[in-house]
């Protein structure tokens, strides 16, 4: 079996080269630098690509915009949908002296819970969830997606002529769950007779399923669609080609279908990040939970300037926003 | 082989032979260098310094004790799946279902730990690993039996079962097994609660990730070696793989052998799944909706690792470790240089293709060298007639 | 449940099923050609990804969808040359080299997406082409004769390739090389040339399949194909290496998927059963093969590199 012995030789050779090179190389060490006014080293770990026009992009964009003004040095490990690899990256960032490790994905929570005690001088931020595990160096942050969902559902019901709305979610968890619940409630509040169809594709990443679901909704007469997760771009493509209105969330999706996207609930994490960074620079590494809402400008309804929205719909929406902020309406979460 | 009476004076080699040998020795390093160069070009395109990048990769994989143990831990699923592939492929059953088998094993093990969390460690840990083996084993037995008894092609059935497994995993982790102590304002995370500490694989070296699973995986790999070459069952597996008809003629029960081969391969992948859960930092089973999110592509990488080792379980230990180094190093490279770890995935692919390609050139050069031995410097076309 | 059986929903479901089946069909037909001549290509998914990305990039830059499809084919041909070189000339182990190509395609497309398209935008879908007269047929007309031209092309390939394989000299050579390359070699058939041609065709079709998927979805994403390439390879086995079998498998898979999705959107399948229902296409495919229990043999030389004298 010459074939096999060749392969084995190849393998041994590679091993020797690797070990020799590693011995010659330097390993990365670092002590946690004092985070006062010096550059704060921030690491971001997120489950999809940073240009996904949804969840991951929202945090990446927030950090990028703050990097200069707040003197931050940003490192990104994106596409980290495998939790084990993400955990390795988090560990390495913490061990390399990063001051703030942002784990932007609810699946990272268990890892944060175990890692935080090992690195008491590093601050960990976990989103989207509302639990800090009682650790002094863990921040938690979440999004009240149901608020923007409610507003958009309300407007969608008013806007729709066929009175059939289609909602496509990935998996019924986390902020996807909240948004979908809020949307349906808002739609029914605007018009109790509207039909809101809800389905979940079962994947955060499968764009084909989203496209197919969108097509199916359109065939059932839906003239307004919405959905959440990074795979939603597939559904937006269908909305564009079938000229059906789209309401987006997590990021401003107007660019994807400039004549069909009505509005998007944009997550603006800059407020929260500012608070966390300031706290860290003041010596507080965790123990607080932050929520973005319509009230604190963490969530904004971004209207697509290219879409001519009837004034009555917009004022209806604005009215609902005001009521949510004042507390008159509390969109449900389940 | 060598013609009798023909001696070879070490200093007086026919020119053709010398050149042929030279080619055969240069081929592998050339392949490695080409792969590295292509990787360096990709790094340059991304604005990273290749030297810094490769250094970060190697340091992240092998640079210090934490790195080495991380690599060892990353190698565990690769080794287990690879060992299973050694069994399956040697029985000529092409198991592409590693991903699904890992997931099913992980689920079975997790369910066990959730059901009986208070059993003491020495009982609970073997129990969960056994559950993992059973879960994965069942998932391997199905396509194995389908092939043996119904002639359903195993590539088809294993790929399809992967698809079924991911949906089942999502269902279990959002439904029956989900942690109900809600974290968020509303909406659960598709993960289990923190699993009982009695089920965690104990850390062998303080301050590192090295856990008991590494030792268990090594033992299992050795066991597979023993199984394949020192038991009659292993003999039957190899015989069936070489020739189904001849084995049948020799009285070997072909159908059960094929089924068992796939079952064992699935069981080993299932143990890998269990170890991914109980050796993880988070000590939970969590999903993002995809198989790769849980397995890290171990189902496919295990195939590469086994084939590189010539389907030999002991050599699989080495190849799994090296391949794991590439993977762990890739994550590290992204941390240090900012170059996405996808680059390492692409380089992995290049390395695989290149190394596998040059084998032939090496074989041919060796053949030429032998031919020159026997026949003297080649006349035109003569070496073509020599068997490779 | 009654909502399902309205004309609009039914036709949309079947039409979606056909659209879903198309990438599988294209890639599967390509792989069939290669496998009939004895070459297994497990890298189809990687080539689909590369084809999808090149189609996406081309569509973004030029707005021309035909060019985008051609770009997909082009990259498929390029990868086909590499695959043929590795599998036929260098006689590498086909299983591993295929997975290597897959890893390469997976990693490279993500990198290219990050580097070349930092702000992704959607591209237009292929326009529907109505076949005159036929599209006026009730129900069937809307479903079958109002698709885009890639769909027509894919389904037309089925009889074309069946004809080529069974009734042309070229097809005979392909089959001969796949069954007994040594014998074919003896009678003067160039094994290498035949295999090169089938691999090139196969990978070109895989690239086109990626482009088709991309044009259906409208944008490129990380791992757009989601392992569809592997499913396509599996469908070759389902189809017993015959184009019409591959078509049957693709349609079955696509149609079941479409039915499940429609049922979910209509609420017929409750949310709690969503995941279980999503298993349906895979389960039904395996059950279908099980029940037919055919005994078609694979090409005898499948997966084994040919070297004169062995």
Q: If DSSP states are collapsed to H, E and C, what string results for chain A?
A: CHHHHHHHHHHHHHHHHHHHHHHHCCCCCCCCCCCCCCCEEEEEECCCCCCCCCHHHHHHHHHHHHHCCCCEEEEEECCCCCHHHHHHHHHHHHHCCCCEEEEECHHHHHHHHHHHHHCCCCEEEEECCCCCCCCCCEEEEEECHHHHHHHHHHHHHHHCCCCEEEEEECCCCHHHHHHHHHHHHHHHHHCCCCEEEEEECCCCCCHHHHHHHHHHHHHCCCCEEEECCHHHHHHHHHHHHHCCEEEEEECCCHHHCCCCEEEEEEECCHHHHHHHHHHHHCCCCCCCEEEECCCCCCEEEEECCCCCCCHHHHHHHHHHHHHHHHCCCCCCCC
Within an 8 Å CB–CB cutoff, is residue B348 touching chain A? no
Mean pLDDT of C52-56: 95
Q: What percent of chain B has pLDDT over 70?
A: 88
| pLDDT (tens digit per residue) in B75-91 | 999 999 999 999 999 99
CB nearest to A212's CB, from C122, C221, C258: C258
Q: Check whether B259 has a pLDDT greater than 70.
A: yes
| Of B74, A180, B153, B99, residue with least CA distance to C226 | B99
Mean pLDDT of A53-76: 93
Q: What percent of chain A has pLDDT over 70?
A: 89
Tell me how far apart the alpha carbons of residues B240 and B247 are, in angstroms, rounded to a whole number. Answer: 6
Q: Look at residue B104 in the predicted model and tell me its pLDDT.
A: 96
Phi, psi of A252 (to 5 degrees): -75, 110
- Residue that is written with structure tokens 């290049």 in the block: B350
Domain ranges of chain B: 75-309
Within an 8 Å CB–CB cutoff, is residue B183 touching chain A? yes
Phi, psi of B229 (to 5 degrees): -115, -5
> How many other CB atoms sit within 10 Å of the CB of residue C153?
16
Q: Look at residue C237 in the predicted model and tell me its pLDDT.
A: 87
> How many other CB atoms sit within 10 Å of the CB of residue C63?
11
Tell me how far apart the alpha carbons of residues A239 and C13 are, in angstroms, rounded to a whole number. Answer: 17
- Residue that is written with structure tokens 């987006």 in the block: A248
Model confidence band, residue A10 (pLDDT cutoffs 50, 70, 90): low
Q: What percent of chain B has pLDDT over 90?
A: 36
The pTM for the full model equals: 0.87
Tell me how far apart the alpha carbons of residues C215 and A197 are, in angstroms, rounded to a whole number. Answer: 26
| Of A324, B228, B303, residue with least CA distance to C97 | B303
Higher-confidence position of A4 and B357? B357
Model confidence band, residue A30 (pLDDT cutoffs 50, 70, 90): very low
Q: Which two tokens stand for residue A71?
A: 């003197």
Model confidence band, residue C3 (pLDDT cutoffs 50, 70, 90): low
> How many other CB atoms sit within 10 Å of the CB of residue B177?
18
Indicate the pairing of strand A299-303 with strand A261-267.
Answer: antiparallel
C interface with A, Cβ–Cβ < 8 A, is 3, 8-9, 11-13, 16, 20, 110, 113-114, 117-122, 124-125, 213, 216-219, 221-224, 226, 228, 257-258, 261-262, 264-267, 271, 274-275, 278
Check if the beta carbon of residue A140 is closer than 8 Å to that of residue A132: yes
Tell me how far apart the alpha carbons of residues C40 and C195 are, in angstroms, rounded to a whole number. Answer: 11
Higher-confidence position of A125 and B31? A125
- Mean model confidence pLDDT for chain A: 87
Tell me how far apart the alpha carbons of residues A261 and A235 are, in angstroms, rounded to a whole number. Answer: 11
| pLDDT (tens digit per residue) in B272-293 | 999 999 888 888 888 877 888 8
Higher-confidence position of A200 and A187? A187
Tell me how far apart the alpha carbons of residues B142 and B161 are, in angstroms, rounded to a whole number. Answer: 9
Which range has highest mean pLDDT (A110-119, A257-266, B261-270, B284-293)? B261-270
Model confidence band, residue C175 (pLDDT cutoffs 50, 70, 90): very high
Per CB-CB distance under 8 Å, the chain B contacts of C276 are 167-168, 171
Q: With b meaning 16 or more CB within 10 Å and e meaning fewer, what string describes A210-244? A: bbbbbbbbbbbbbbbbbbbbbbbbbbbbbbbbbeb
Mean pLDDT of B136-165: 91
Tell me how far apart the alpha carbons of residues B289 and B190 are, in angstroms, rounded to a whole number. Answer: 9
Q: Check whether B7 has a pLDDT greater than 80.
A: no
Q: Look at residue C272 in the predicted model and tell me its pLDDT.
A: 75
Q: Check whether C215 has a pLDDT greater than 60.
A: yes
Q: Look at residue C107 in the predicted model and tell me its pLDDT.
A: 92
| pLDDT (tens digit per residue) in B201-211 | 888 777 777 88
Check if the beta carbon of residue C191 is closer than 8 Å to that of residue C306: yes
Q: Look at residue A303 in the predicted model and tell me its pLDDT.
A: 93
Q: Check whether A126 has a pLDDT greater than 70.
A: yes
Phi, psi of C225 (to 5 degrees): -75, -20
Mean pLDDT of A161-182: 90
CB contact under 8 A, C283 and B160: yes
| pLDDT (tens digit per residue) in B30-80 | 777 888 888 888 888 877 888 988 898 899 899 888 889 999 999 999 999
Instruction: Find the helix or strand (DSSP H, E) in which C129 lies.
Output: strand C128-130
Instruction: Find the helix or strand (DSSP H, E) in which B4 lies.
Output: none
Q: Check whether A233 has a pLDDT greater than 80.
A: yes
Q: Look at residue C6 in the predicted model and tell me its pLDDT.
A: 78
Tell me how far apart the alpha carbons of residues C237 and B297 are, in angstroms, rounded to a whole number. Answer: 23
Q: Which two tokens stand for residue C274?
A: 């969503």
CB nearest to C226's CB, from A168, A208, A257: A208
Higher-confidence position of B109 and A173? B109
Tell me how far apart the alpha carbons of residues B258 and B237 are, in angstroms, rounded to a whole number. Answer: 7
Check if the beta carbon of residue C26 is closer than 8 Å to that of residue C209: yes
Helix (H, G, I), strand (E, B) or coil at B286: strand
Interface test with chain A among B64, B184, B188, B324, by most A beta carbons within 10 Å: B184
Per CB-CB distance under 8 Å, the chain B contacts of C295 are 151
Which residue on chain B is closest to A11 by alpha carbon?
B319
Q: Check whether B379 has a pLDDT greater than 70.
A: no
Instruction: Find the helix or strand (DSSP H, E) in which B19 lies.
Output: helix B15-45
List the alpha helices (DSSP H) in chain C.
7-36, 44-62, 65-84, 94-116, 140-144, 149-167, 169-179, 181-186, 191-217, 228-238, 243-266, 274-278, 280-292
Tell me how far apart the alpha carbons of residues B375 and B377 are, in angstroms, rounded to a whole number. Answer: 7
Within an 8 Å CB–CB cutoff, is residue B218 touching chain A? no
Model confidence band, residue B377 (pLDDT cutoffs 50, 70, 90): low
Indicate the pairing of strand A195-200 with strand A224-227.
Answer: unpaired
Q: What percent of chain C has pLDDT over 90?
A: 50
| pLDDT (tens digit per residue) in A306-329 | 999 999 999 999 999 999 999 988
Q: Check whether C134 has a pLDDT greater than 80.
A: no
Mean pLDDT of A167-188: 90
Which residue on chain A is closest to C11 by alpha carbon?
A219
Model confidence band, residue A18 (pLDDT cutoffs 50, 70, 90): low
The topology under which CATH files domain C2-123+146-295 is ABC transporter involved in vitamin B12 uptake, BtuC (1.10.3470)
Q: Look at residue B6 in the predicted model and tell me its pLDDT.
A: 43
> Alpha carbon of C14 to those of A82, A215, A240, B197, C288: distances in Å?
35, 11, 21, 51, 19
Per CB-CB distance under 8 Å, the chain C contacts of A203 are 226
Which residue on chain C is closest to B156 by alpha carbon?
C234
| Of A234, B100, B132, B264, residue with least CA distance to C282 | B100
CB contact under 8 A, A220 and C266: yes
Chains near A (3 or more Cβ pairs under 8 Å): B, C
Model confidence band, residue A51 (pLDDT cutoffs 50, 70, 90): confident
Tell me how far apart the alpha carbons of residues C146 and C139 are, in angstroms, rounded to a whole number. Answer: 11
Kindly report which listed range (A299-308, B202-211, B344-353, C147-156) carries the lowest average pLDDT score: B202-211
- DSSP letter for each residue of C59-107: HHHH--HHHHHHHHHHHHHHHHHHHHIIIIIS---HHHHHHHHHHHHHH
Q: Check whether A8 has a pLDDT greater than 70.
A: no
> How many other CB atoms sit within 10 Å of the CB of residue C241?
22
CB nearest to C111's CB, from B300, B343, B357: B343
Higher-confidence position of A327 and A129? A327
Phi, psi of C139 (to 5 degrees): 60, -65
Check if the beta carbon of residue A95 is closer than 8 Å to that of residue A108: no
| pLDDT (tens digit per residue) in A191-230 | 999 999 999 887 888 888 898 999 999 988 999 999 998 8
Kindly report which listed range (C35-49, C123-137, C176-190, C269-283) carries the lowest average pLDDT score: C123-137
Domain ranges of chain C: 2-123+146-295
Q: Check whether B350 has a pLDDT greater than 70.
A: yes
Tell me how far apart the alpha carbons of residues C102 and B291 are, in angstroms, rounded to a whole number. Answer: 16
Tell me how far apart the alpha carbons of residues A259 and A31 are, in angstroms, rounded to a whole number. Answer: 52
Q: Look at residue A28 in the predicted model and tell me its pLDDT.
A: 40
Instruction: Find the helix or strand (DSSP H, E) in which C148 lies.
Output: strand C146-148
- Mean model confidence pLDDT for chain B: 84
Q: Check whether A137 has a pLDDT greater than 90.
A: yes
Tell me how far apart the alpha carbons of residues B30 and B14 are, in angstroms, rounded to a whole number. Answer: 24
Check if the beta carbon of residue A126 is closer than 8 Å to that of residue A47: no
Within 8 A by CB and 6+ apart from C166, the residues are none
CB nearest to A216's CB, from C12, C120, C228: C12
- DSSP letter for each residue of B210-239: -BHHHHHHHHHHHHHHHHHHHSHHHHHHHH
């Amino acid at each position: 079996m010459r074939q096999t012995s060749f392969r084995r030789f190849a393998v041994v050779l590679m091993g020797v080269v690797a070990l020799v090179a590693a011995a010659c190389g330097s390993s990365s060490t670092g002590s946690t630098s004092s985070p006062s006014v010096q550059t704060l080293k921030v690491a971001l770990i997120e489950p999809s690509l940073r240009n996904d026009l949804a969840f991951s992009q929202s945090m990446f964009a927030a950090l990028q915009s703050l990097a200069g003004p707040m003197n931050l040095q940003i490192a990104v490990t994106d596409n980290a949908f495998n939790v084990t690899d993400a955990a390795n990256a988090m560990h390495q960032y913490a061990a390399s002296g990063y001051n703030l490790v942002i784990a932007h994905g609810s699946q990272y929570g268990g890892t944060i819970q175990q890692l935080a005690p090992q690195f008491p001088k590093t601050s960990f931020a976990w989103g989207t969830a509302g639990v800090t595990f009682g650790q002094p160096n863990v921040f938690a942050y979440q999004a009240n997606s149901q608020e923007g969902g409610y507003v958009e559902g309300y407007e969608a019901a008013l806007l729709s002529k066929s009175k059939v709305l289609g909602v496509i979610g990935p998996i019924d968890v986390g902020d996807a769950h909240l948004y979908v619940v809020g949307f349906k409630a808002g739609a029914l509040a605007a018009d109790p007779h509207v039909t809101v169809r809800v389905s979940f594709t079962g994947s955060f990443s499968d764009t084909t399923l989203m496209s197919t679901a969108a097509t199916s909704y359109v065939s059932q007469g839906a003239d307004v669609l919405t959905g959440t997760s990074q795979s939603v771009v597939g559904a937006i493509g269908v909305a564009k080609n079938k000229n059906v209105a789209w309401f987006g969330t997590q990021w401003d999706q107007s660019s994807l279908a400039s004549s069909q996207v009505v509005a998007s609930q944009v997550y603006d994490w800059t407020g929260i990040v500012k608070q966390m960074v300031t706290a860290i620079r003041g010596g507080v590494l965790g123990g607080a939970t932050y929520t973005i809402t319509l009230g604190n400008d963490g969530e904004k309804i971004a209207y697509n300037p290219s879409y001519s929205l009837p004034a009555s719909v917009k004022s209806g929406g604005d009215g609902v926003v005001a009521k949510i902020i004042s507390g008159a309406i509390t969109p449900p979460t389940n | 082989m060598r013609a009798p009476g023909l001696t070879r004076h070490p200093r007086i080699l026919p020119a053709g032979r010398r050149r042929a040998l030279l080619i055969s020795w240069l081929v592998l390093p050339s392949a490695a260098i080409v792969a590295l160069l292509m990787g360096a070009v990709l790094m340059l395109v991304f604005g990273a310094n290749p030297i810094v990048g490769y250094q970060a990769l190697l340091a992240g994989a092998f640079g210090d004790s934490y790195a080495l143990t991380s690599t060892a831990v990353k190698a565990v699923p690769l080794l287990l799946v690879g060992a299973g592939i050694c069994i399956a492929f040697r029985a000529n059953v092409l198991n592409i279902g590693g991903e699904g088998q890992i997931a099913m094993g992980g689920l079975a093990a997790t369910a066990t730990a959730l059901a009986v969390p208070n059993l003491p460690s020495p009982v609970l840990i073997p129990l969960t690993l056994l559950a993992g083996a059973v879960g994965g084993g069942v998932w391997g037995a199905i396509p194995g039996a389908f092939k043996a008894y119904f002639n359903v092609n195993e590539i088809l059935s294993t790929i399809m079962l992967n698809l079924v497994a991911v949906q089942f995993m999502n269902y279990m982790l959002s439904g029956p097994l989900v942690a109900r102590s809600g974290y968020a304002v509303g909406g659960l995370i598709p993960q289990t609660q923190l699993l009982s500490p009695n089920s965690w694989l104990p850390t062998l070296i303080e301050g590192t990730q090295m856990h008991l699973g590494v030792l268990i995986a090594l033992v299992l790999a050795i066991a597979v070696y023993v199984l394949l070459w020192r038991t009659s069952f292993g003999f039957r597996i190899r015989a069936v793989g070489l020739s189904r008809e001849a084995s049948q003629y020799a009285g070997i029960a072909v159908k059960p052998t094929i089924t068992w081969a796939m079952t064992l391969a699935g069981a080993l992948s299932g143990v890998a799944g269990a170890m991914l859960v109980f050796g993880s930092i988070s000590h939970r089973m969590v999903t993002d909706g995809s198989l790769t999110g849980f397995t890290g592509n171990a189902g496919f990488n295990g195939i590469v690792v086994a084939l590189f080792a010539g389907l030999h379980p002991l050599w699989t230990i080495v190849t799994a470790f090296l391949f794991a180094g590439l993977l762990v190093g890739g994550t590290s490279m992204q941390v240090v240089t900012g170059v996405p770890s996808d680059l390492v995935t692409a380089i992995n692919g290049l390395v695989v293709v290149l190394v596998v390609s040059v084998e032939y050139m090496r074989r041919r050069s060796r053949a030429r060298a032998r031919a020159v031995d026997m026949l003297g410097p080649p006349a035109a076309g003569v070496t073509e007639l020599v068997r490779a | 449940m009654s909502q399902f059986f309205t004309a609009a929903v039914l036709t949309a479901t079947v039409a979606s099923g056909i659209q879903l089946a198309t990438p599988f069909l294209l890639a599967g037909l390509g792989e069939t050609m290669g496998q009939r001549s004895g070459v297994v290509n497990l890298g189809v998914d990687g080539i689909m990804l590369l084809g999808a990305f090149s189609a996406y990039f081309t569509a973004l830059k030029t707005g021309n969808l035909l060019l985008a499809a051609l770009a997909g084919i082009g990259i498929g041909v390029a990868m086909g040359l590499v695959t043929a070189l590795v599998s036929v000339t260098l006689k590498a182990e086909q299983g591993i080299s295929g997975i290597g190509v897959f890893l390469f395609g997976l990693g490279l497309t993500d990198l290219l997406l990050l580097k070349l398209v930092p702000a992704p935008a959607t591209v237009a879908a292929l326009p529907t082409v109505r076949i005159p007269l036929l599209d006026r047929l009730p129900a069937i007309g809307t479903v079958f004769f109002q698709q885009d031209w890639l769909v027509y092309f894919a389904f037309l390939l089925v009889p074309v390739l069946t004809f080529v394989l069974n009734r042309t000299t070229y097809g005979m050579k392909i089959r001969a090389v796949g069954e007994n390359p040594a014998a074919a070699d003896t009678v003067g058939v160039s094994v290498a040339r035949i295999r090169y041609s089938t691999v090139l065709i196969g990978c070109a079709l895989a690239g086109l399949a990626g482009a088709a998927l991309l044009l259906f979805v409208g944008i490129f994403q990380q791992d757009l194909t989601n392992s569809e390439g592997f499913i396509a390879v599996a469908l070759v086995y389902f189809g017993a290496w015959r184009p019409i079998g591959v078509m049957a498998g693709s349609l079955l898979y696509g149609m079941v998927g479409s039915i499940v999705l429609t049922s979910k959107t209509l609420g017929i399948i409750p949310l709690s059963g969503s995941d279980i229902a999503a298993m349906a296409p895979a389960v039904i495919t395996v059950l279908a093969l099980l029940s037919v229990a055919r005994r078609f043999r694979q090409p005898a030389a499948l997966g084994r590199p040919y070297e004169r004298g062995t």
